[in-house]
Structure 1
Amino acid sequence: MLQELLKPEAVRVNLESEDKEELFEEMTEVLVAQCPGLDRAEVLDSLLQREAKMTTGVVPGIAVPHAINQKIKKPICAVGISKEGIDYEALDGKPVHIVFMLLFPADDTAAHLNIMQELAFVFGVPDFYKSLMDKNSGAQVVQAIVQAEESL
């Protein structure tokens, strides 16, 4: 499932952001680059509104900001990695190093739930976090995620 969603060109292994606001702006650019018809400000606003309800930094070191978008027909994802860590206001109060930012179509609740569930399973794979932190390219990150998913 994740293999179909992830693209090496949508992965940033050296995020420049230092805080959540910068991160959302940086990662929104990656999402919009995948789907040029999207309105950058609208995407950013929907992600920030969802995040305002409750932080998506719920897994130690990992955040999954996500939102619904009326203009897309299938889910899109951007992955970011920060070696230094990002002040994310996560539940554990610690920095986030890995970010999965997702947009879901408004009319596909099943895909939304299935992808979020699959990510939760992958996050539980032993050494998943460490394996991503060791990668230096988008292709390597995608390969590591696919391998983790296949190990389930």
Structure 2
Amino acid sequence: MSKIFRMTAIAAFAALAASASMAETMNMDVKASVTGTCKLAAANALDFGALDPVAAPAVTGKTTTITYLCTKGKTPAALTINGGSGSTTSSMVHATVVADLIPFSLTWSTTLPAGLGMGTGKEVTVTVSGDIAAGVYSNLTAGNYSKTLTVDFTP
């Protein structure tokens, strides 16, 4: 019996030693969350150029761009210029004769494309078109006219 007991004890010890040295495996999750966001990248100037007051034709089709970045797939909520959504009107003012004004109108798309990412070269462009009606600048003081508009961008 003692031989059987010894062999059983040796087998039990071997099994215990083997189980103690066996590796165990478990899964570990690694997580992150990317926040959906947007930011305005640039609001470029619109230059109507030199205006000829003799003929004073309408000036149409002048364009500029506004660019933004959004997280890939995020669509911004709104882009407004001077509070207008898709169009606005205002007037440029002479540099020194504040009574002299050149009225103009701007239009742009209110359907804003989803973002392509926040990295370099991923900017989304919105084209802004400007027009000046015929004759509105024929009796004005020569010189520079300008107007600063507010561009609001809602992510």
Q: TM-score, normalised by structure 1?
A: 0.25
Higher strand proportion: 2
Higher helix proportion: 1
User: Whose radius of gyration is greater, 1 or 2?
Assistant: 2
